[in-house]
A = this chain, B = another copy of it.
Amino acid sequence: MFSQSMYTLGTNRSCIRDLFEYGLQQAQTVGKENVFDFSLGNPSIPAPNAVRDAFSGLIEREDSLSVHGYTPAPGLFDARSAVADDLTDRFGFPIHPENLFFTCGAAPALTAAIRALAVENAEILAIAPFFPEYRPFVEHNGAAFAVVPADTDTFQIPVADVEAALTPHTQGIIVNSPNNPSGVVYTRGNLSALAALLTRKSQEYGHPIYILADEPYRELVYDGAEVPFLPAIYPHTIICYSYSKSLSLPGERIGYVCIPDCAADSRELLAAVAGASRILGHVCAPSLQQQVAAQCARVRPDLEAYDRNRRTLYDALTSYGYACVKPDGAFYLFVKAPGGDAQAFSDRAKKRNLLIVPGGDFGCPDFFRISTCVSHDMILRSLPVFQQLISETQV
């Protein structure tokens, strides 16, 4: 006698993880150099030196009890101050330590925020393409999950389709920019149109519709692309942040929820996040990692390697005839599957040991995702396979 729904969640592995583990197996058989694994979104550049220095300094020089002790549930005041100051300076928008609640990364930030919004009959929207875990996060934390279909020409937010999906029960809409899996950065104009819609509908419904801004890729942008600071465009914004990608610390589980003063019921909502965090078993974010985040609040990643990978793959694939919106951020390409069925195309690629993720779980079954956080050498070795696969499709 155990929960069947939890068992199903624990055994229905994501196709991403299946591909990744298949790749590890195949490497044993055909050699590592003959497997082209573009499945995982695991950073491939090391953490900045400042991060290493911060870890070392804390371990070597600080008192064990203060480094490793329980922190207040929202996080160390110094860590919240450092992040608040950085956000305020960068975006010219007032963020205070009291607006921040540290978490074990973006996943607990999102689940706590969803649970805090989960009033009776609550609905949370996501915009395709979207990170597949949003669905279980929402459905098992007290809300219904609804999807706005993708604008597959641009992968910007299709505002008219968002309007069609809104109901009086809509409590929030997840906005993930730079986007996983498309790599697209929503433009200021696009976000302003969304904000205008949400403002109008919030008035109509008599309660705020919150934006849940899932922003682990905020600092991963190329060609000078702008990631607008959402609270400056739409007041009712809940930022869910992680240092996983920006500081290459995915396993270290450190991030935060930020609800600025301009959001409706800002402090009450952050208290509800604290309550949700409590019953989700979070207690506090890792103390050592909080202190590293405090010291590294102004550290930015060196994106040269990701940018080079992005350009190499984008230029090569489009030259072969693949269709793909050029990504301005994150470390993914979201490519239209030749032949139209990304699952079938991914299966064919898999036979050549080229591992790409079909887009069905992202809400776009005609597209596949390539992670560009890989070695440049592997990219170069993989290009003939990409070329061959599309040429075979066209025959």
B42 close to A64 (CB less than 8 A): no
Chain B residues whose CB sits within 8 angstroms of the CB of A68 once the complex forms: 47, 248-252
> Does A279 count as interface, using CB distance less than 8 angstroms?
yes
CB within 8 Å of B: which residues of A? 1-3, 5-11, 40, 42-44, 46-47, 52, 55-56, 59-60, 63-65, 67-71, 103-105, 107-112, 115-119, 133, 136-137, 140-142, 171, 207-208, 248-253, 265, 268-290
How distant is A156 from chain B, measured CB to nearest CB, in Å? 28
State the CA gap A207–B68 with chains docked (Å): 41
B residues near A274, Cβ cutoff 8 Å: 9-11
Consensus secondary structure, chain A interface: helix
Say whether A6 contacts B276, CB under 8 Å: yes
Q: How many monomers of this chain does the complex have?
A: 2
Whether B11 and A271, one on each chain, are in contact in the complex, defined by CB atoms closer than 8 angstroms, is yes
Give every chain B residue within 8 A of A1 (Cβ-Cβ).
Answer: 117, 119, 171, 207-208, 265
| Contact between B2 and A105, CB atoms less than 8 A apart | no
Rounded to whole angstroms, the CA-CA distance of A215 and B79 in the bound complex is 31
Task: Specify the chain B residue showing the minimal Cβ separation from A103.
Answer: B281
Indicate if the CB atoms of A279 and B141 lie closer than 8 Å. yes
Give Cα distance in the complex from A141 to B111, angstroms: 13
Interfacial chain B residues near A69, Cβ < 8 Å: 42-43, 250-251
5 pairs, CB–CB < 8 Å, chain A vs chain B: A3-B116, A10-B271, A10-B276, A251-B284, A252-B286
Q: Specify the chain B residue showing the minimal Cβ separation from A58.
A: B55
Question: Beyond A273-B10, A286-B253, is A281–B111 a contact (Cβ under 8 Å)?
Answer: yes
The answer to whether A64 touches B273, judged by C-beta atoms less than 8 angstroms apart, is no
Q: A59-B59, A251-B286, A286-B289 are in contact. List 16 more A-B contacts (CB 8 A).
A: A2-B265, A2-B268, A3-B119, A3-B272, A6-B275, A7-B275, A10-B272, A46-B64, A52-B64, A70-B250, A71-B251, A107-B281, A107-B282, A108-B280, A133-B278, A253-B285
Known A-B contacts A280-B281, A281-B110, A286-B251; the reply to A275 vs B5 at CB < 8 A is: yes
Bound complex: CA of A118 vs CA of B1, how far in Å? 9
Q: Which residues of B contact A3 (CB under 8 A)?
A: 115-119, 142, 272, 275-276
Closest chain-B Cβ to A66's Cβ sits at a distance in Å of: 9
Task: For A119, list chain B residues within 8 Å (CB).
Answer: 1-3
A269 to B6, CA, bound (A): 9
Give the docked Cα–Cα distance between A176 and B87 (Å): 43
Cβ of B116 and Cβ of A2 under 8 Å apart?
A: yes
A48 to B270 Cα, complex, angstroms: 36
**Which residue of B has the minimal Cβ distance to A11?**
B271
Closest chain-B Cβ to A25's Cβ sits at a distance in Å of 15
- Is there an interface contact between A6 and B286, defined as CB atoms closer than 8 Å? no
A132 to nearest B CB, angstroms?
A: 11
Determine which residue in A10, A40, A253 has the highest number of CB atoms from chain B within 10 A of its CB, and name it: A10
Minimum distance in angstroms from A238 CB to a CB of chain B: 11
Given A119-B2, A140-B279, A272-B2, does the pair A253, B284 have CB atoms closer than 8 Å?
A: yes
Cα–Cα, bound, A210→B284 (Å): 28
CB distance from A106 to the nearest CB of B (A): 9
